[in-house]
Amino acid sequence: PTGSHVEWCKQLIAATISSQISGSVTSENVSRDYKALRDGNKLAQMEEAPLFPGESIKAIVKDVMYICPFMGAVSGTLTVTDFKLYFKNVERDPHFILDVPLGVISRVEKIGAQSHGDNSCGIEIVCKDMRNLRLAYKQEEQSKLGIFENLNKHAFPLSNGQALFAFSYKEKFPINGWKVYDPVSEYKRQGLPNESWKISKINSNYEFCDTYPAIIVVPTSVKDDDLSKVAAFRAKGRVPVLSWIHPESQATITRCSQPLVGPNDKRCKEDEKYLQTIMDANAQSHKLIIFDARQNSVADTNKLWYQDTASLME
The H-or-E segment that residue 278 falls in is: helix 269-280
Mean pLDDT calculated for residue range 35-39:
48
Residue 172 included in any domain: no
Say if residue 161 is in the same domain as residue 211: no
Say if residue 159 is in the same domain as residue 288: no
pLDDT band at 46 (very low <50, low <70, confident <90, very high): low
pLDDT band at 40 (very low <50, low <70, confident <90, very high): very low
CATH number assigned to the domain comprising residue 161? 2.30.29.30
pLDDT at 191 over 90: yes
* pLDDT in the model for residue 27: 42
pLDDT at 41 over 60: no
Say if residue 103 is in the same domain as residue 185: no
The pLDDT > 70 percentage for the chain reads 75
* pLDDT in the model for residue 311: 40
Mean pLDDT calculated for residue range 103-129:
81
Say if residue 16 is in the same domain as residue 161: yes
Say if residue 138 is in the same domain as residue 101: yes
Mean pLDDT calculated for residue range 262-291:
89
Question: Regarding predicted confidence, which is higher, 238 or 114?
Answer: 238
Cβ atoms 151, 108 nearer than 8 A: yes
- Looking at the chain, how many residues does it have? 314
Mean pLDDT calculated for residue range 297-309:
59
Full 3-state SS string of 183-217: HHHHHHHCCCCCCCEEEECCCCCCCCCCCCCCCEE
Q: Which of 167, 202, 226 lies at the terminal end of a domain, its last residue?
A: 167
Amino acid type, 271: D
Q: What global pTM score does this model have? A: 0.53
The pLDDT > 90 percentage for the chain reads 51
What's the pLDDT tens digit per position in 208-256? 999 999 999 999 999 999 999 999 999 999 999 999 999 998 999 999 9
25, 45, 117, 157, 292 from 81: Cα distances, Å:
29, 17, 33, 13, 53
Rounded CA separation 28/212 (Å): 70
- With vertex at residue 9, the alpha carbon angle to CA 7 and CA 12, rounded to the nearest 5 degrees, is 110
Mean pLDDT calculated for residue range 54-80:
91
Q: Which of 167, 196, 225 lies at the terminal end of a domain, its last residue?
A: 167
The total number of structural domains that make up the chain: 2
Mean pLDDT calculated for residue range 2-6:
52
* pLDDT in the model for residue 308: 45
pLDDT band at 273 (very low <50, low <70, confident <90, very high): very high
Say if residue 157 is in the same domain as residue 10: yes
Say if residue 101 is in the same domain as residue 57: yes
Say if residue 9 is in the same domain as residue 107: yes
Say if residue 241 is in the same domain as residue 294: yes
* pLDDT in the model for residue 114: 53
pLDDT at 205 over 90: yes
Q: Domain range holding 135?
A: 3-167
